[in-house]
Amino acid sequence: MLSLKTILTGTAVSVSMAGIAMADGHGGPYAPYAGTTLVINVPAHPHYNAMMKVLPAFTEETGIEVEVDQLQYLKMRERQTLELTKDEGDYDLISYVVFSKADYVFADQLENLAKYFMNPKLSDPAYDAGDLIDGYVANIGIAGGKKGYLPGPTGSLYGIPYGSETSVLAYRKDIFEKHGIATPETYDQLLDAACKIPELEDGMGGMASRAASGHQASHAFLLHLAPLGGRVFDDAWNPIINNEAGVAAANALKTIVDCGPEGSQTFGPAEAAAAFQQGQAAMFMDSIAFAAGFEDPSKSTVAGKVGYALHPEGVRRGSQTGGFGIAIPKNAQNKEAAFLLMQWLTSKKGDLMTAMAGGNPSRFSTYQDAALNEKYPYSATFGEALKYADPDWRPIIPTWGKINADIGTTMSQVLTEGLDPQEALDGVAARAKDIMAEAGYYTWQ
């Protein structure tokens, strides 16, 4: 007995010795950085809660310690704004909201990733960047190409998607079956179903949507703008938000909110999701990040009754792209080790581990993984939705904050004060034109 125990202990020791030898001894890519402590800044978000669960595996494999500063995502942006202007920053790796890309890259505060992917000592040949979801890479990672914020011959990579999201339609299978309504595949069917349900089901709204004044109303409007064929600007930066497609999107949003659950006009994403979770609405079309909450029986009264479908098609398919990416600040102190962490987290292995812990995959291969599909049956639909993820559903330019807020307050007036959509969007377009002119977008015209 005793001898067996000794043998077991001995094996355990030799295994751990081997681990250390791998890390410090004859090399391995991580060896020079073992013992380094990285400080990273991430949002308080389900995806990054999942990351927290996989970080110990990174430390064990590489010997690099990671200290995490987790903040609410708007607070995180404020903190980063201050942090990035310092000479020597405290953060080695930051997670950023997609619309920060424009500000950070424009202010030259993020590392261009080319030199890291060129470095044979750092770059993992098995990384397979082609497997990363294109729409996400275009939306979150690349800057300097077409229109300045999209890929193109002049673009380059500043970040890697990690915790990115797209939109899907969640609907109540039981309600749709009960009334013989087909799963909406087009916008006409969607709007039709949205207003039919309140008539058929007493006290239930059609679709729960964001609509609160400001960013939320703007987000909801843009969600419909892209599939209905609209854009905020044309290729010469002239506002075209007030064209037919824009008016159609505003009308779609108004129909959805009017036929939605009571009090829809002031919903933020959390309230809209809560209304769906509590059975007050039959549909919910927003980020995939909410799905886990719907399937959690301790929070949701609709767990198991929810079906997931692609964002319906208008004149084209176009689901949103959003969420977070990770990047290395220019003023970081351990840039190479930070790159290793970034590469590890977004590698096939890291992405799958994070997804299994409840995060949002950034790779096509992860969505096809059998184990993941077994654990989260909706993964296949989400993977399908990503093929239509539209990186250009909203412009990511430094003036966007102001235009976004204006769209949001004006859309709220359409929803609550009966302002005519055409008149409202004409106003937005005129003001956007002024903002763009002031920022110099028409200098070359």
The alpha-helical segments, DSSP class H, found in 138-297 are: 173-178, 187-200, 215-225, 244-258, 269-277, 291-294
Token pair in block for residue 83: 């942090």
Closer Cβ to other proteins, 84 or 389, answer by number? 84
Pick the stretch among 179-187, 221-229, 257-265, 295-303 that binds other proteins (CB under 8 A). 257-265
CB 203 within 8 A of CB 197: no
> In whole angstroms, how close is the CB of 404 to other proteins at the nearest point?
8
What is the DSSP code (8-state) at residue 189? H
For other proteins, give the closer residue by CB, 14 or 85: 85
Task: Provide the 8-state DSSP code for 127.
Answer: -
Q: Does 398 bind other proteins (CB under 8 A)?
A: yes
- Partnered with residue 402 across adjacent β-strands are none
- Decide if residue 129 touches other proteins (CB under 8 A): no
Give yes or no for residue 331 binding other proteins (CB under 8 A). Answer: no
What are 273's two structure tokens? 């999701």
Kindly identify the residues of this chain, within the stretch 8-27, that bind other proteins according to CB under 8 A. Answer: none
Q: Give yes or no for residue 82 binding other proteins (CB under 8 A).
A: yes
Q: Residue 265 interacts with other proteins (CB under 8 A)? A: yes
> Closer to other proteins at the Cβ: 387 or 402?
402
Exactly one of 60, 67, 78, 128 binds other proteins (CB under 8 A); which one?
A: 78
Q: Is 416 in the site for other proteins (CB under 8 A)?
A: yes
Size of the site for other proteins (CB under 8 A): 37
The single residue listed with the structure tokens 């959509």 is 421
Q: Are 142 and 129 in contact (CB under 8 A)?
A: no
Cβ contacts of residue 30 below 8 Å, gap of 6+? 23, 61, 62, 63, 64, 340
CA–CA distance, 379 with 359 (Å, rounded to integer): 11
The minimum distance between CB 430 and other proteins, in angstroms, equals 11
CB of 412 to other proteins, least distance (A): 5
Give me the least distance between CB of 202 and other proteins, in Å please.
13
Report residue 51 as tokens: 């990351």
264, 208 in Cβ contact below 8 A? yes
Look at residues 292, 294, 229, 217 and name the one whose alpha carbon lies nearest to residue 260.
Answer: 217
Q: Which of 380, 405, 422, 433 binds other proteins (CB under 8 A)?
A: 405
Nearer to other proteins, 124 or 438 (CB): 438
Whichever of 168 and 217 has its CB closer to other proteins, that residue is 217
Output the smallest distance, CB 71 to other proteins, in A.
Answer: 14
Please state the closest distance from residue 12 (CB atom) to other proteins, in A. 51
Show the binding pattern over residues 35-64: x = contacts other proteins (CB under 8 A), - = does not: ------------------------------
Least Å distance, CB 189 to other proteins, is 27
156 binds other proteins (CB under 8 A): no
Rounded CA Rg of the chain: 24
DSSP codes, 72-105: -HHHHHHHHHHHTTSSS-S-SEEEEETTHHHHHH
Q: Does 364 bind other proteins (CB under 8 A)?
A: no
Of positions 12, 107, 236, 315, contacts other proteins by CB under 8 A? 107
Q: Does 263 bind other proteins (CB under 8 A)?
A: yes
Contact of 433 with 234, CB cutoff 8 Å:
no
Q: Pairing between strand 156-157 and 321-327?
A: unpaired
Pick the piece of the chain touching other proteins (CB under 8 A) from 110-118, 191-199, 286-294, 398-406. Answer: 398-406
What are φ and ψ of residue 398, in 5° steps? Answer: -60, -30
- Please give the angle made by the CA atoms of 161, 147 and 74, to the nearest 5 degrees: 45
CA-based nearest residue to 137, from 122, 119, 149: 149
- The residue ranges that bind other proteins (CB under 8 A) are 74, 78, 81-82, 84-85, 103-104, 106-107, 109, 212-215, 217, 261-266, 280, 398, 401-402, 404-406, 409-410, 412-413, 415-417, 419
